[in-house]
Amino acid sequence: MRNLLYITILSFGLTSCGGGGDDTPPTPVNTVPTVPTLASPTNNLLCIDNVVNFIWNASTDSEGGTITYEIQVAKNNLFSPVLHSQTSTTTSKSITLEKGIAYYWRVKATDNKNASSNYSATFSLYTEGVGVTNHLPFSPVLVSPALNSVQTTTTINLQWTASDVDTGDILTYDVYFGTVNPPTALVSQNQSASSLNRNVSASTKYYWKVVVKDGKGGQTIGQVWSFTTD
């Protein structure tokens, strides 16, 4: 009787402890690859050959998965529309471009589970044209206010940057600003500074753009940017 009681107690102990055999281990969380960094052509480069070999630094993947890269090339820095979109399992891609055109390019990485990084920084280049003596400036790049942001102040400082492969060119800017899209009111002309203060009203959406001029007859019209006041 005593042995039977001992066996019963032992069986209960084993049952109550449980083996956990039915527990499913948690599925590992997949992380996105790191953002690629662009290597060549370097930013704002004048490319003599219009067959351009784009090169970037490899991304890393925490899970060791296979990485595929997507390179996008466009004629404006908003990539609207994308002119070339190609994939590669290596860190380079050769693309034939038109001559005498400003281009913008960026790359993102995707792992074998379709998790994608953000796009890299955007680099610009200019392909040499036949008999070209002057190159157009690159499209202006927005600094602030951020695109489609909400601003709470009554004075807005519009800021941008611009560049030209003809490094000796002195760039000037025409700024268009207003509440219509696209903006038609020229509020500053031939200014040398890459910023401009504007007074604004509350609860209003504003649009603005910058035209970059190189002093040799070349000019590039920038994209329309916008923000809203609170």
Question: Domain ranges in the chain?
Answer: 37-127, 141-229
| pLDDT digits 0-9 by tens, 33-46 | 999 999 999 999 99
The answer to whether 37-127 and 141-229 have equal CATH topology is: yes
- Which CATH number applies to 141-229? 2.60.40.10
| pLDDT digits 0-9 by tens, 163-221 | 999 989 999 999 999 999 999 999 999 999 999 999 999 999 999 999 999 999 899 99
| pLDDT digits 0-9 by tens, 95-147 | 999 999 999 999 999 999 999 999 999 999 999 887 667 889 999 999 999 99
211/49 Cα distance (integer angstroms)? 28
DSSP helix/strand/coil, 156: strand
Dihedral angle, C-alpha 141, 210, 213, 97, nearest 10 °: 50
Is residue 88 over pLDDT 70? yes
Lowest model confidence (mean pLDDT) among 16-20, 51-55, 69-73, 201-205: 16-20
Q: Confidence band (pLDDT; 50, 70, 90) for 10?
A: very low
- Which CATH number applies to 37-127? 2.60.40.10
Between the CA of residue 107 and those of 15, 24, 89, what are the distances in Å?
57, 38, 12
56/61 Cα distance (integer angstroms)? 16
Tokens of 220: 């590039």
Q: With contact defined as beta carbons under 8 Å apart, do 205 and 149 qualify?
A: no
pTM exceeding 0.85: no
- The single residue listed with the structure tokens 């050769």 is 94
Is residue 29 over pLDDT 50? yes
* Mean pLDDT within 52-57: 97
| Partner residues linked to 75 by β-bridges | none
Q: Confidence band (pLDDT; 50, 70, 90) for 48?
A: confident
52/41 Cα distance (integer angstroms)? 8
According to the model, what pLDDT value does residue 188 have? 98
